[in-house]
Chain A
Amino acid sequence: MTDRVFRMVLWIALAAGTIGATAFQRATPPADMTARAMAAAETFLATLDSAQRAKANLAFNESTRTVWSNLPTGIAMQVGATERNGVKLGMLTPAQEKAALAMVASVLSRDGFQKAMQIVDADQLLETRSAPTRAAGAPIRFGRAEYYVSILGKPSTTDRWMIQFGGHHLAINVTLAGRQGVLTPTHTGAQPASYSVDGRTIRPLGGENDKAFALINALTAEQKKQAILGVAVQNLVLGPGTDGKTIAPEGARAATFTATQRTMLVDVIREWVGIIGDEAAAAKMKEVEDGLGDTYFAWAGATDNGKGAYFRIQGPAVFIEYAPQGNGANNVDHIHTMYRDPTNDYAAKAATR
């Protein structure tokens, strides 16, 4: 009797559990990136006091969204602003910082978030090195504490809004518009471009560098003749402060590439596109691949990996630059990159719909 009652209770419990779990799953389908970002943004804002919240959450408009740069704090940015939007990590409590970074992570892929934090770590190394020799009172600062996080606009699953995370060598600009997530314009960079932690070599932009070198060396002599510009390129052409501009394309056209070469080009592009969350990255990669035939690959500099070389990828919906800084032997250790979409920076298409 006791056994029969036990079995019945167990059966009812299992049935109830199954029904309950099914009902829960139906009530809460997997959230899309925008919904996750909205929840994370609201959680972050809830950790802040009113003064911090006023700094962290600004209006989304032309004059706020363009405030980002490759430069460290203490330097006027290319757009004229002297301070980034938002609150900086150095002014947050550990709980607030955790919520801030969780919000950033909510719109990035696992690899993308790791890349961003490796850039931050590189800058921390730079701060450690430069602080002892810095002039007293010098306003320039590097390091993790100098990275800012902001929310532009009201977090929403329908209207356009934006999450920015940036500091020296990093400007993550994710615009959310309904279910659409747009990463452009975004700047990444690194100095040092290679460092060690626990005997492990960290190269935040190593994938970008190595895959591009592999591609240039996979081109035929005729294709290389088209791709290699034969000039020295010392910096980004369309770096921070040049929103809305496009240059005339140059280099080898991917329409002339073999299937293998095209796959290699797509892999290079994915290094930037894949920074954003997986669903948004997949949608963007499809758009990039649709326009691959009209995409150009241009190169300037040595073709031996380990030496400094500039490259550019320009297609109908993608613009990428990778630029070692300066012309000295150390230029491979100081990299600037830029990722833009000439048709949809800041989710411009959503604004016109």
Chain B
Amino acid sequence: MTKVMAAALAFAVLWPATARAHRLDEYLQAARVSLGRTRVLIELDLTPGATVASTIVPLIDRDADGVISPAEIEAYGRRVLADLTITLDGRDIVLQLTRIDAPSIDEMREGMGNIQLRATGRVNAGPGTRRLYLQNRHLPAASVYMVNALMPDDRAITVVSQRRDPQQSSATIAYEMGPGRIAQATWLSIGAIGLSALALFRRGATPDPRSLIPDP
């Protein structure tokens, strides 16, 4: 422990005074995309760095009372959503804000506050290859972005590729949509009926080997 304390003293002298414990000079916006048959879910985690928090906080705390009210964070969430473009096969998806949680202003000023935004959009994706495009234009001068497709809960959906621009402010997620469970069940039923009919037909068409044995 004494050795660590000695190292701490040396470290305190040598460590750059500007270095901080957490995110510093960028606004991290990390999106996760959940693909479904009838809806798309966007999870967006927004973390202002310590030195950009002074720019971000006034956009949220509109009355500057030092407290983020539910109405203020909801209004900010809608502003963020307005800066997103999301399409499926070229058709716009309208996102609805379903949840947004805000950290305290102090946490944001330390570069450790995490705003959690959740939004959903209705889609009608039939079987075949689908392309979902997401672009985030929220505060580009201060921001760094991430975007990733989550593994779909629906096993009939397979993510084929994720193509992003180098800054990850936009991405195209290609995915294969297989037949749904109802369609699968319908086809399985048709298949089963067909096989049964075929079996019955064959039984009727094929003479019983015993009938070929001549009577004594």
Could you tell me which A residues sit within 8 Å of B by CB distance? 71-72, 75-76, 78, 80, 121, 124-130, 132-133, 138-140, 142, 168, 191-192, 195-198, 229-235, 237, 241-242, 245-248, 250, 325-328, 330, 333
Contact = CB atoms under 8 A, between A and B. Distances in A.
B21 A237 contact: no
Interface in B1-24: 3-12, 15-17, 19-24
B176 to A, nearest CB: 12
A330 B114 contact: no
Interface of B: 3-12, 15-17, 19-26, 28, 30, 32, 47, 49, 101, 103-104, 106-107, 110, 112-114, 116, 144, 146, 148-151, 159, 162, 164-168
Contacts of A129: 8, 11-12, 15, 19
A330 B101 CA distance: 30
Contact of B23 (A78, A139, A325): A325
Given A125-B8, A235-B47, 5 more contacts: A125-B7, A140-B110, A192-B15, A234-B26, A237-B30
A232 B11 contact: no
B11 A231 contact: no
Given A327-B26, A328-B24, A233 B7 contact: no
A53 B151 CA distance: 41
Nearest to A196: B7
B166 A232 contact: yes
A325 B111 CA distance: 12
Nearest to B17: A133
B189 to A, nearest CB: 30
A246 B35 CA distance: 12
4 tightest Cβ-Cβ pairs between the two chains A and B? A248-B159, A128-B8, A246-B151, A125-B11
Contacts, number: 121
A327 B110 CA distance: 17
B16 A330 contact: yes
Given A75-B107, A124-B8, A128-B11, A234 B148 contact: no
A126 B21 contact: yes
Nearest to A80: B101
A231 B159 CA distance: 18
Contacts of A245: 32, 150-151
B3 A197 contact: yes
The CB with the most chain B CB atoms within 10 A, among A78, A128, A192, A248, is that of A248
Contacts of A198: 3
A247 B31 CA distance: 12
Nearest to B19: A330
Given A121-B4, A231-B164, A246 B150 contact: yes
Nearest to B151: A246
A11 B148 CA distance: 74
Contact of A195 (B7, B103, B114, B146): B7
Contacts of B144: 232, 234, 327
Contacts of A330: 16, 19
A228 to B, nearest CB: 12
A225 to B, nearest CB: 14
Contacts of B148: 237, 247-248
A136 B4 CA distance: 25
A97 B159 CA distance: 48
Contact of A75 (B24, B110, B162): B110
Contact of A130 (B21, B23, B150, B159): B21
22 contacts: A75-B110, A80-B101, A125-B7, A125-B8, A126-B21, A127-B8, A138-B106, A140-B110, A142-B21, A192-B11, A192-B15, A196-B7, A197-B6, A231-B168, A233-B146, A235-B30, A237-B30, A237-B148, A242-B32, A247-B148, A327-B144, A328-B25
Contacts of A326: 23-26, 49
A247 B168 contact: no
Nearest to B158: A248
A230 B166 CA distance: 6
A325 B165 CA distance: 20
A325 B20 CA distance: 11
Contacts of B168: 231-233
B151 A247 contact: yes
Contacts of A72: 21, 112
The CB with the most chain B CB atoms within 10 A, among A76, A129, A142, A250, is that of A129
A234 B150 contact: no
A197 B4 CA distance: 6
A80 B113 CA distance: 11
